[in-house]
Amino acid sequence: MARTPTTHDPFNAVAEPKRRQVLAVMGTEELSVNEIVERLGWNQPSVSKHLGVLKQVGLVSERRVGRQRMYRVNAERLRPIFDWVTPFEQFWNERFDRLDIVLQEMQKKDK
Amino acid sequence: MARTPTTHDPFNAVAEPKRRQVLAVMGTEELSVNEIVERLGWNQPSVSKHLGVLKQVGLVSERRVGRQRMYRVNAERLRPIFDWVTPFEQFWNERFDRLDIVLQEMQKKDK
DNA sequence: TTGACATATTCCGATATAGGAATATAATAG
DNA sequence: CTATTATATTCCTATATCGGAATATGTCAA
């Protein structure tokens, strides 16, 4: 068996750094392929291929307008990643919680 | 060129569902390989290999105790994922913000 | 030292990339 | 209908997988 395909889910699609770049450069706007190509400075087939993967996992939506294809980020598909990673936040915030307690104790002693 | 290696960064390491399972089953505890094997019900080499990838990207730390190797989740390495995905949260919360406004308007009209 | 236990590593095969280059498809203008 | 513009697809190759099976390494106990 091989690696989980990039088109299998958002986790795999977004593992590729260039695909994260594509989403970043798109922001909240609806853009044509050429606009994305210009912003990234990559060649057109490369952009189209990455958009194809993102579309397959639902991370972008596509709308045809004349000979253009307008793409837009569908951020909700990132929610599984957000939901999965968020609980871990407490682990690196824990020390700050403890630091808060320490600081509170120090204040009490100062009084 | 090929796909970004799984050991390249946390994004790629965690794209594999089984690796997320490993982290989930480890929780906050320090566990030996066999304890993880028992919790997951997988064969030992498979677990060791996944732990190897997680260790290479720093997502788990390893400590040798006799013939055992104790592993612990290093959640801070997930922070790049958290930091990357968090800004997108506003996109799926936006509608709720608007919904709040709509609901506020409805309440005003009710008065 | 020998066996038993804990864990890692190697070898295998099927599969899926990502990028570059070339080309195909589709739609519009003239 | 032809040229042009916008975008997608195909073909290619080098490279990593993942899982299973077998085996190697390392450590303790008697």
- Residue A64 tokens read as 């045809």
- Phi/psi region, residue B41 (left: phi>0; alpha: psi -120 to 50; beta: rest), is left
Average pLDDT, chain A: 90
**Residue position matching structure tokens 């030996």:** B32
Mutate: best of B84, B89, B90, partner A, most A CBs <10 A: B84
pLDDT digits (tens, 9 = 90+) for A7-66: 999 999 999 999 999 999 999 999 999 999 999 999 999 999 999 999 999 999 999 999
Tell me the Ramachandran region of residue A101: left when phi exceeds 0, alpha when psi lies from -120 to 50, beta otherwise.
Answer: alpha
CA B70, CA B66: separation in Å to the nearest integer?
10
B5-27 pLDDT, tens digit per residue, is 999 999 999 999 999 999 999 99
Band of pLDDT at residue A92, cut at 50, 70 and 90: confident
3-state secondary structure of A16: coil
pLDDT, position B92:
85
Q: What is the pLDDT of residues B59-111, one digit of tens each?
A: 999 999 999 999 999 999 999 999 999 999 988 887 666 656 665 665 554 43
Name the residue with the least CA to C1' distance from nucleotide C5: B67
Collect all residues of chain A within an 8 Å Cβ-Cβ radius of residue B75: 88, 91-92
Query: With an 8 Å Cβ cutoff, are A3 and B4 in contact?
Result: no
| Residues facing residue B31 across a β-bridge | B71
